[in-house]
Chains A and B, each alone.
Chain A
């Protein structure tokens, strides 16, 4: 790990409608680092991530990706993004492969998929254990499988930086295990990660640093809060206990 930042936010402010959501955020992710962005609902953590990718316009401050101001950043193949989503489905049926192929567009010229691109898509599906569902419609998948497809889509361009917004939300324990293992491999390969999380959960051992937001301000930036301290965080609403991350994969029945 060195001091080179892959993401750097300095004094970023943003508004939704006319309501200030970010009130001057400083956030840095160094190469090879895994940073969790924590906070209660409405603390601005999703908005912070969306300013990084340019979905939400900033009203002030600076954002840099790989040392380049975001406005001038063009090298999007280096970034993999997993939006907060409960479904990968649009209004028209699409197969798992079709959805994951979208993630490869940043490495193609004019959207032409060559053999290497198709192999990259297949490889990304294998990474999340969805290789056997490649030709299935995304409508036929469970919530956890959806999330695995969205992560495969982000991995299809072989990114150096992964940005994930609540990757564990609405995901059954079996898929959580697969996702944690996938992420572990990516981190071992040197990928930097920014994760928006509601709670640390099964990803806790991976996380180098936690940034806690509250009302659009950074409240804490340092080592991840320990399990006990996590409950003491302001505004934290821990709704249900979790099994240990190495427990038997059991289905909770919350999803299907």
Chain B
């Protein structure tokens, strides 16, 4: 295989950034999916746009500025979730669209800034990843991996059942905030690779694809990260050989993986169910199953 792709420094940086995103996005995304907040990454992405705009306006690094603003946004979202249960969705909508509009406004106010600058952050621009971007991405990715792996049991407990987690003495609010902050950091890690508008896809789609096959959280985590790495490398390489946008390619590959695994999962699930039914019938010989239609049928008739 032709590996000239690795000869170029910009491609080395691109691949490194892509792999880090492939690891971190599903690693955080799995907790968001578990909490049924799959679209939170999308919201943070919108808020991060204000950070990018602010970075351009103040001539600071857009990556670090976006990190700061999206962390603040994620914390605000958590606070809204706690205190404003009734109007929570409206407040979140304000935050999302305010963040997006703020980004567009700020970047236009920036000297020499146009919406063209924003495009590379919206849809990713792998080939323009700089040395300093790579340093930032590495540091942020290390933080994300440390949190999502190191605290996996605590985060699992809190995301599975918040009320119960409280009674195990876990600092539930602090852990919820940590998930929000980690998600925000991941968004900015992924921003340069797949872009703010497609970040959420890389958090959610590999997890959704993995859980077509799995029965345990640990396996879902491992397979989701493997899919994440696979599609980010695949997408980056494809964009090098064929002139296609890497972010979109990565996301389409992830969706392709989801479709493929879903197709594979159906016969697998059927076989598992059959094996389970066989082993159950063998060990108990339980006739009670047959009683269910018998008791149900008269009720059904009475209803009609």
Contacts and interface: CB of A to CB of B under 8 A. Distances in A.
Asked whether A and B interact, the reply is yes
A217 B35 CA distance: 34
The winner among A55, A108, A111, A140 for most chain B CB atoms within 10 A is A111
A153 B215 CA distance: 18
B295 A91 contact: no
B21 to A, nearest CB: 20
Contact of B153 (A92, A113, A153, A163): A113
B11 to A, nearest CB: 34
A95 B215 contact: yes
Interface in B159-209: 159-161, 163-170, 207
Chain A binding surface, main DSSP class: loop
Given A81-B167, A95-B217, A137-B216, A251 B207 contact: no
A105 B161 contact: no
B216 A94 contact: yes
A102 B168 contact: yes
A55 B166 contact: yes
B238 interface: no
Contacts of A153: 164
A150 B38 CA distance: 25
Contact of A93 (B86, B214, B296): B214
B292 interface: yes
Contacts of B274: none
B205 to A, nearest CB: 14
Contacts of B24: none
Interface residues of A, number: 47
A135 B218 CA distance: 12
Interface residues of B, number: 39
Nearest to A56: B163
Given A92-B33, A94-B216, A105 B160 contact: no
Interface in A198-256: 249-253, 256
Contacts of B217: 92-95, 98
Nearest to B158: A102
B157 to A, nearest CB: 4
Nearest to B151: A111
Given A91-B34, A102-B161, A137 B215 contact: yes
B71 interface: no
A71 to B, nearest CB: 13
Interface string A43-74: 00000001001110000000000000000001
B169 A74 contact: yes
Contacts of B225: none
A53 B167 CA distance: 6
B232 interface: no
Nearest to B170: A105
B167 A93 contact: no
Nearest to A54: B166
Contacts of B215: 93, 95, 135-137, 139-140
Contacts of B86: 17
B36 interface: yes
B125 interface: no
B10 interface: no
A50 B170 contact: no
B1 interface: no
A40 interface: no
Nearest to A95: B216
Given A53-B167, A251-B291, A105 B30 contact: no
A101 B165 CA distance: 11
B169 A90 contact: no
Contacts of B163: 50, 53, 55, 81, 83
Contacts of A103: 164, 168
Contacts of A157: 168
A14 B199 CA distance: 41
Contact of A76 (B153, B167, B207, B218): B167
Nearest to A74: B169
Given A91-B35, A137-B216, A77 B166 contact: no
A90 B167 contact: no
Contacts of A102: 153, 156-157, 160-161, 164-165, 168
Interface string B62-93: 00000000000000000000000010000000
Contacts of B35: 90-91
B291 A105 contact: no
Q: Which 5 residue pairs across A and B have the least CB separation, nearest first?
A: A76-B169, A137-B215, A111-B153, A81-B167, A102-B157
Given A83-B163, A102-B168, 6 more contacts: A76-B168, A81-B163, A88-B161, A93-B216, A105-B170, A249-B288
9 contacts: A77-B168, A88-B161, A91-B38, A92-B217, A95-B216, A99-B160, A105-B168, A140-B215, A253-B296
